[in-house]
Amino acid sequence: MLQSIRDGDRLIVRLAGELDHYCAQTVRRELDALIADRSIRMLILDFTTLQFMDSSGIGVILGRYRQMRDRGGQVGVIHMNRHIARIFHMSGMDRVIRQLDKPQEAAQA
């Protein structure tokens, strides 16, 4: 379900399919294992192939955001479809997690 690419202190993780209550625990464990390396300062979640997310997915993302924030790191997201962007906005995640493929955000990353 997850594909990752390391680029220096950045980790880009592509989530695929659905991030819902059925797979949230597995995704949480996999992400935690990937960001266990404390030299990672920026976690970028790539939603190119993510088709659906529910409140369990929101919890997974916010939990990783808190982990990264607590150690001085950041989380950003890229390639959200309209459905995911709507959930992102309605949940308030857009106030704490930057969408890096917006031109003004990418320049600050």
Structural domains of the chain, count: 1
Range of the domain at 75: 2-106
**Position 107 pLDDT exceeds 70:** no
From 33-47, 73-87, 91-105, the region with the lowest mean pLDDT: 91-105
Instruction: Give the pLDDT score at 17.
Output: 95
**Position 104 pLDDT exceeds 70:** no
Q: How confident is the model at residue 102 (pLDDT cuts 50, 70, 90)?
A: confident
pLDDT in tens, 40-86: 999 999 999 999 999 999 999 999 999 999 999 999 999 999 999 99
Considering the chain, what percentage of its residues have pLDDT values greater than 90? Answer: 91
Please, are residues 61 and 80 in contact by the beta-carbon 8 Å criterion? no
Mean pLDDT of the chain: 93
**Position 88 pLDDT exceeds 90:** yes
CATH number at residue 56: 3.30.750.24
DSSP line for the chain:
-EEEEEETTEEEEEEEEEESTTTHHHHHHHHHHHTTSTT--EEEEEEEEEEEE-HHHHHHHHHHHHHHHHTT-EEEEE---HHHHHHHHHTTGGGTSEETTSHHHHTT-
Q: Are strands 10-19 and 2-7 parallel, antiparallel or unpaired?
A: antiparallel
